[in-house]
Structure formats: structure tokens, C-alpha cells
Amino acid sequence: MLPSVIMNSDKSDHSGKFFNWREKAFPYLLIAPAIAVLLALSIYPLLYIIKISFQTGSGESIKWSLSNFTRLFSDSFFRDALLHTLIYAIVALTFEFLIGLGLALLVDRPLRGRNVFRAVLLIPMMLPPVVVGVVWRLMFNPNFGAINGTLKSMGANTDALTWTASPALALASVIAVDVWQWTPFMFLILLAGLQAIPQEPYEAAMVDGANWRQTFFHVTLPLLKPAILIALLLRTMDLLRVFDQIFILTEGGPGFATETVSLYIYRAAFRFFDFGYAAAMSFVLLALTNAISYAYIRLLQRQETA
């Protein structure tokens, strides 16, 4: 770990040149292990994936070309996966934001049992994604699942409601699971944002005779904007890379109905062992999420300086 020289630094050489050198090097020694780990396990893999994205074939017959990238344009499966990912992200984000904001507004007033409510709402979000998959397989199962069972006992005809097994409903079903799991995240961040808004602007609005709608659009929303942006950016980044729950619930099926980019990359790499093509697709996914993470980091920086 750390050189013992530093651990046992004694005061006698505080004025010496050696001490100065040591004092200067000290912060770098503290940072070095972190940088080494990230270089080896984040940056090197990134360079590695760029390298293999230009390779086709394996072993002795490796060829260098752009063919993995040109293949992307003619691959209708990739196009569908990209489309599913975008639909998934946009629809889930919209519902999570609207419901989360609604709940946050309901709770951002004197409320008995607010902490209990907040704690209970945490549960879906903290669950291991694999467990979320198990939970919703039990709910969605057409034969003995809780949803269809309950509907049936109320007299509904559930023959067509096969949820994740139906090509028409599967994407909507996995999106619903995402909304169930991650609306609490929006709720928590937005509630924290709402509670950080001081009382004065509201009082001023009341003195000016603003009604609730004017207050909401001209006071609450503008002041909540930083929290909204952070919540939306973080969620978008996660939505674009979604893998776990869909893998457990449908494995991308039925057919190709719920295949997202992450699942398709997984399939290409670990089912067909086509690592070069998987790498090229990873590149596209990375570019897509990078734009959003860049926006997020810029926003963070502004928060930092504010």
C-alpha cells in the first residue's frame, strides 16, 4: 500500500529538503492506487473494445476492417434493438417523471407518516434487479400469476392477457416493471428538491395573489429545475443500458419483442461469440450514453460552483 516512509514520518526533518519532496509527492501517492485500478479496469477495457471492434475472425485469421461497423447499418435486428431501447427509455422516463413528481408534490406538505411512506416506497428501487424479475414473473404468469388470478376472480376474461409472453404486450409489460421499480427514485430526488426550496418565493407569490397553477409553473418548477435535470439525466443513462430485469423476464423475447441494445450485445458476444460485432455495437451504446453523461457532469460542475 503506502510506503512506510510516510507512515513513520518523524518531525525531525520537517525543515529538510527531503521533507518538502515528500510533502509534494504525498497527495499523488494517495491518488495513485485509484488511478491504477481505473486505468486497468475501465480505460484498458475501453481501448480493448475499440481495438476488437475493428477485427473480424479469430485466432490466426484475424482481419482488420470496418466491416463490423458497416454491418450495423444493414442489421435490422440491431435497428429493432435500438428502437426498443429508445421506446423503453422515453416511455418509462415519462411515466416515472410524472408519477414521481405527482407523489413528491403530495408528500411535500405536512403529512402524518411521511417517513414511513418514504421508507416503504424505497423498497422496489433497492431490490436486486434479479429479484424484481422473479417478483414480476410471479405477477405476470398467465396461469397462476397474481394479476390474472385477481382479474379472473373479478370475472374478467384474461385469455388474451399473457403479458410478457405476448408479442404485443411484452414491451409494455417490461416498461411497466421499470416504472414500478424506478418511480420511487424520481419521487425521492424530486421530494428532496422540493424540500430545499425556501418559503419566501411562495409567500411572495401568495401576496401577489397567484393561484396554485401560477405558483406551480412560475415558482415551483423553475426552482425545482436542477433536481429535475439530475433525476432525468441519471434515469436516462440507466434506461439506455437496461439489461437485468428484461433478461430475467423475457430474455429479449418473445421473438425479438423486448430485445434492447444491451441484450443484443450480450447475445452477440456470449451466444454467438462474435466479439468484434458486439464491440462495435458497444461503441454505439457508449456514444449514446456519453452525450447524456457529459450533460450530467456539466450540470454537476455547475452545482459545485454554485
| Contacting range for other proteins; rule: CB under 8 A; set: 65-73, 163-171, 205-213, 230-238 | 230-238
CA 211 – CA 219 distance, rounded (Å): 11
CB of residue 21 vs other proteins: minimum separation in angstroms? 14
Burial class (CB in 10 A: 0-12, 13-18, 19+), 45: exposed
103 binds other proteins, rule: CB under 8 A: yes
CA 277/CA 53 separation, integer angstroms: 6
130 near other proteins, judged by CB under 8 A: yes
Residue number with CB closer to other proteins (86 or 234): 234
Q: Which of 248, 289, 287 is nearest to 266 (CA)?
A: 248
Q: How far is the CB of 199 from other proteins (least distance, A)?
A: 18
Binding residue for other proteins (CB under 8 A) from 104, 227, 232, 246? 227
Among 62, 106, 156, 204, contact with other proteins (rule: CB under 8 A): 106
Least distance from C-beta 252 to other proteins, angstroms?
11
As a whole number of angstroms, the distance between CA 68 and CA 2 comes to 45
Residues 15-54 that bind other proteins (CB under 8 A): 26-28, 30-31, 33-35, 37-38, 40-46, 48-49, 52
Element (DSSP H or E) covering residue 293: helix 275-305
Binding mask 149-178 for other proteins (x = CB under 8 A): xx-xx-------------------------
Q: Shortest gap between Cβ of 70 and other proteins (angstroms)?
A: 20
Interface with other proteins includes 254 (CB under 8 A)?
A: no
Query: Which residues 6+ apart lie within 8 Å of 183 measured at CB?
Result: 95, 96, 99, 100, 103, 124
| Helix count and strand count (H, E) for the chain | 15, 2
Residue 67 DSSP label: H
Pick between residue 171 and residue 296 the one whose CB is nearest to other proteins. 296
Q: Are 52 and 276 in contact (CB under 8 A)?
A: yes
CA-CA-CA-CA torsion sign (55, 56, 59, 62): negative
* Cα R_g (the chain), whole angstroms: 26
* Piece of 6-14, 70-78, 205-213, 214-222 that binds other proteins (CB under 8 A): 6-14
Size of site (CB under 8 A) for other proteins: 98
Binder among 66, 146, 204, 206 for other proteins (CB under 8 A): 146
Stretch 60-79: interaction string toward other proteins, x if CB under 8 A = --------------------
DSSP codes of every residue in 172-225:
HHHHHHHHHHHHHHHHHHHHHHHHTS-SHHHHHHHHTT--HHHHIIIIIHHHHH
Stretch that binds other proteins, among 60-68, 167-175, 186-194, 212-220 (CB under 8 A): 186-194
Minimum CB distance to other proteins, residue 207 (Å):
20
Contact flag: residue 282 with other proteins (CB under 8 A) = yes
What are the φ and ψ backbone dihedral angles of 69, each rounded to 5 degrees?
-80, -40
If binding is defined by CB under 8 A, does position 86 make contact with other proteins? no
- Cβ atoms of 164 and 249 within 8 Å: the answer is yes
Task: Verify binding: residue 243, other proteins, rule CB under 8 A.
Answer: yes
**Number of alpha carbons in the 13 Å side-chain half-sphere of residue 47:** 6
Part in contact with other proteins (CB under 8 A); list of ranges 68-76, 197-205, 209-217, 242-250: 242-250
Regarding 275 and contact with other proteins (CB under 8 A), the answer is yes
